[in-house]
Structure 1
Amino acid sequence: MMVFWAILALVVGVIVAVGLARMLGSSERAVSGSHNPQALSVVGSALLSSFILVTAFLIASTWSTYNTDRQHTYDEARSVTTAYWLAGKLQPADRDRVRAGLSMYTDQVIADDWPAMGRHQTSDTAAATLDALRVEVGAIKPATAADEQDRADVSAALDDLYSKRLIRAADVNYSMPSLLYLALVIAAVLLVAYPPLVGLTANLRNTVVLAGLGAMVGLGILIVIGLSHPYSEPLSIAPTAFRHALQQFTQING
């Protein structure tokens, strides 16, 4: 899937660049070659610097957010594993119910939450499972003070898991300001359109070079958009942390 989106971005960039070359590279100024080299150099450098500045800022910002969101999934997975381990201190019947609920929640995060997060939503089913589990642990009636402490430990672990889930839900709905994307697109179009606009003729060699520029610009825009939506294609974060948690459940049981 990642290869498909990368190829699509390259193709779109090439089409835009070639189209601009054909439209603007056939003008009278382009054919005659009349231009001011000093002025063109200044303007061209300014356009290139603008695109690099906007792209670098967006990639740095979205990459940081992307890594933070991925780290949050591992934090939540560690919380569910901790709760699963602490549930082993409960009485056998309570332990089995709580661990079964945690396994169900983890399965639902993978099967239900992840597809929903690609649509900037979270699964109501997984949320309901976690809420019911917290209520169930709160309703346990320990026979001794030691049992009460064990129940309190599990309850605190579930509260921590709930907080981590809320953080992940907030990550899903975060997005970069639209104005930044608009600035990126405008800078990209001006950068690709500038050479034919000021005199680059639309011959085969120049068109191929401009197509390469358009492809790289398109790929840069794809990277920015992909990183800014970490749970959607083409750079979506996988539920690896929760799959690993399920493996740890098996190890704990063993």
Structure 2
Amino acid sequence: MGWVITLVVVSIAIMLIAFLVLKQKGRESEDRGSAAVDFSANLALAVYLLVLAYAAVLCRDGLSVTETDVKAEAETLTEMYWSVAPIPEAEQVRSQIRQYTAQTINLDWPLMARGEMSPAATKTLEDLRSATIRLRPIGEENKALQQEALTRASEISHARGIRSSDASEGLESIFVISMILSGLLVIVLPWTLGVRPTRASMFADLVRVAVVVIGVCFIILISHPFSGIGAVEPEALRAAEQHYDHIDNQFPSQP
């Protein structure tokens, strides 16, 4: 949000300064060179719209991929819970799966908006894998379930790494810089003629500034998968917690 507020304030300041300068020193009209300026402004507008559209597609795809990754992580946690549920000795592992899921929702998610992850959840996942390795199940069937649970634990660790990478990345700065530069050219080029503003020209200037600022702000607000508009929420993990209760009904905890 800081970027958005700064961009809006700077854009308004530039527009007001331009209006004041042109109001005091601008000429009544200027035809010479207007065709070249119009061509340059239109070219800058085309570049701006192209970068804006491409950035919007990248952001939308990034949000979709991140949401799919979160759903896959929640599904893997549920499958691991299914794997250890029939093992009588795995009560601690079941508890740690629940703890890790809760910490991911309550601790990871607020931090991921800043590109960080909770060390407490990381520690719980490490303890979860260690507890699964230390299981000594009786019977071949339970041993096979333990191996499956270990595979799932490895997949969860991998999914956490992907989520951490998603949280620390966003839209590449080159796109934002390109949009801002091309947008500034769209706004400023008509003012280079030095023509004194009229009501009609001021309205056109307001429209240009609004289009550029709204476009850049929109991209900034959707550029991170865990913050802003359309941010990915931990709904899949909350659904996994409900599945744990269903599994407990099928395989009640044993002391």
1:237 positional shift: 1.9
1:73 pairs with 2:66: no
1:220 pairs with 2:215: yes
Q: What is the RMSD of the two structures over their aligned residues, measured on CA atoms?
A: 2.7
The range that moved more, 99-108 or 23-32, is 23-32
CA distance in 2, matches of 1:127, 1:101: 12
- Structure with greater contact order relative to length (CA < 8 Å, sep ≥ 6): 1
Amino acid at match of 1:157: R
Amino acid at match of 2:108: D
CA distance in 1, matches of 2:205, 2:7: 12
How many residues are aligned here? 249
TM-score, normalisation: structure 1: 0.86
Distance 1:116 1:156, change over 3 A: same
Partner of 1:15: 12
Partner of 2:252: none
Tell me, which stretches of 5 or more residues in structure 1 are unaligned?
none
Q: What is the DSSP-based 3-state SS (H/G/I as helix, E as strand, rest coil) of the residue aligned with 1:89?
A: coil
Partner of 1:34: 31
**Contact 1:30/1:199 (<8 A) preserved:** yes
Distance 1:130 1:29, change over 3 A: same
CA distance in 1, matches of 2:147, 2:115: 34
- Residue deviations 1:14-42 (CA, integer Å, cap 9, x gap): 62563254146437565223333432332
Amino acid at match of 1:90: I
- Residue deviations 1:161-200 (CA, integer Å, cap 9, x gap): 1111111111122234333322211111111122333356
Q: After superposition, where does 1:75-154 map in structure 2 within 5 Å?
A: 75-91=72-88, 93-94=89-90, 96-154=91-149
Tell me, which stretches of 5 or more residues in structure 2 are unaligned?
250-255
Partner of 1:184: 179
TM-score, normalisation: structure 2: 0.86
1:160 pairs with 2:152: no
CA distance in 2, matches of 1:60, 1:132: 40
